[in-house]
Structure 1
Amino acid sequence: MKKILTIAAVLLFLIWGYQVTILALAVRDQAQKEEARPSEVIVVLGAAEYKGKPSPVFRSRLDHAFDLYMQKMAPRVLTTGGSGGERVHTEAEVGRQYLADRGIPVENIYVEREGATTAQTTAASAEILKRMGWNTCILVSDGYHLFRAKKMMTDYGLDCVGSPRPAKDAGYLQTGWLYLRQAVGYSLFDLGIRF
């Protein structure tokens, strides 16, 4: 009986590993795809902020969203992200201020300031979009992050496309790790484990 359970566990692990590998390839494909098209809102996934200033990664996401806004891909932007442990600022508010300073009217910038994880942020963002009557969005993040975040948004019934921020090429190992990590994250999300 013990041998049968061990074999079953190994088989389940191999099947899961195969599925994660297939997902990692899908993550890679999405990361390299620019899908921006006219939509109702641009959703910028948050990243770290330092004392009211966006981190380089967050700034790059915001700059990309600004460019899409200026190309008239959407008439409004939703910045996202909670406090990340800081008491004064949230990523969403820092993003709003950064975009306003660049010239987007404040009334065209909405905020989702509660999300601490991708699952929380996409859930809260989807709720805001639905409450406002918006069904289409351009999701801006790092390329490797878009597959999982986009799937989460579409699970809420939104018509969502991905637009990766411009980024420096990373090495094969680092890039592969990022794809694999996102594949595992989505696999767990699909199993009902939210983080």
Structure 2
Amino acid sequence: MKFQRIIALSFTIFTVVIAHNAFSIYQFSHEDQTRVADCAIVAGAGVNGDRPSPVFQARLDHAVWLYRQKFVSALVLTGSYSIGASDSDASIARLYVLTQGVPDNATFIEERSTVTRENIRYAQTIMKHQQWQTALLVSDPLHMLRLQTIARDNGINSWSSPTPSTRYQSWWLQTRFLLRESFYYSGYHLLRLIPVQNNSTIM
């Protein structure tokens, strides 16, 4: 009976934490902190063949807009190789933004990341090399709180600049996205207590 009470209490605590984080994620998703910064870091979202996925393209379109409006002077595009792909997600994204008028010398790519945490870590390496101090973070609105939390934990002075629209438009898709983000965000906070080498592949 005591074991069952412990299980019930643990489940209750877990549910409360997830619900609290879901509310925080949803609330933050409505914040747009767009301002002038050195660069924009675009979170990867996969590709379809030789083109960015619709979700990734929406993020890239917003990053291009930030560049055109002179909020940033460079774009940092992230993403490793999708299964079966000969080009990295980041290199495919780079080709896309070049067709949208962003010059070659304003695009930087990292081709090693497979999860959000690595997107930020490897983008930070580029920032240090270029001696950039500030960044706008570009992703879907419900992704922004986790993305910014990771960026701040990595010492990046950053602000949220979510896509103005999202491909996750239906109630069902948004709910799934929110639940997934709540799980990953909660897990990230828990795993911050563990040395980096033991959790470097966590979303």
Query: Equivalent residues in 2 for 1:1-195 (5 A)?
Result: 3-165=1-163, 166-167=165-166, 170-192=169-191, 194-195=202-203
User: SS state of the match for residue 23, structure 1?
Assistant: helix
User: SS state of the match for residue 38, structure 1?
Assistant: coil
Q: Give the whole-Å Cα distance in 2 for the aligned partners of 1:144 and 1:35.
A: 14
- Which TM-score applies when normalising by structure 1? 0.91
User: SS state of the match for residue 136, structure 2?
Assistant: strand
Q: Are 1:148 and 1:183, in contact at CA under 8 Å, matched by a contact in 2?
A: no
Q: Aligned in 2, Cα 1:169/1:113: closer, same or farther, shift over 3 Å? A: closer
Q: Are 2:55 and 2:167, in contact at CA under 8 Å, matched by a contact in 1?
A: no
User: SS state of the match for residue 138, structure 1?
Assistant: strand
Q: Aligned in 2, Cα 1:102/1:173: closer, same or farther, shift over 3 Å? A: closer
User: SS state of the match for residue 78, structure 1?
Assistant: strand
Task: Quote the sequence identity (%).
Answer: 26
Deviation at 1:181, TM superposition (A): 1.2
Deviation at 1:101, TM superposition (A): 1.5
Deviation at 1:16, TM superposition (A): 2.0
Q: Give the whole-Å Cα distance in 1 for the aligned partners of 2:143 and 2:49.
A: 25
Deviation at 1:174, TM superposition (A): 2.9
Deviation at 1:149, TM superposition (A): 1.4
Q: Give the whole-Å Cα distance in 2 for the aligned partners of 1:91 and 1:72.
A: 25
Deviation at 1:9, TM superposition (A): 2.5
Deviation at 1:99, TM superposition (A): 0.9
Deviation at 1:35, TM superposition (A): 1.2
| Matched letter for residue 181 of structure 1 | R
Unaligned residue ranges in structure 2 (runs of 5+)? 192-198
Comparing 117-126 and 167-176, the one that deviates more? 167-176
Report the aligned-residue RMSD. 1.7
What do the CA deviations read for 1:130-165 (whole angstroms, capped 9, x no partner)? 343223111111111111111111110112111221
Count of residue pairs the alignment pairs up: 193
What do the CA deviations read for 1:82-109 (whole angstroms, capped 9, x no partner)? 1112341111111111111211111111
Unaligned residue ranges in structure 1 (runs of 5+)? none
Q: Give the whole-Å Cα distance in 1 for the aligned partners of 2:49 and 2:171.
A: 33
- Which TM-score applies when normalising by structure 2? 0.88
Runs of 4+ displaced beyond 6 Å: none
Q: Give the whole-Å Cα distance in 1 for the aligned partners of 2:173 and 2:166.
A: 13
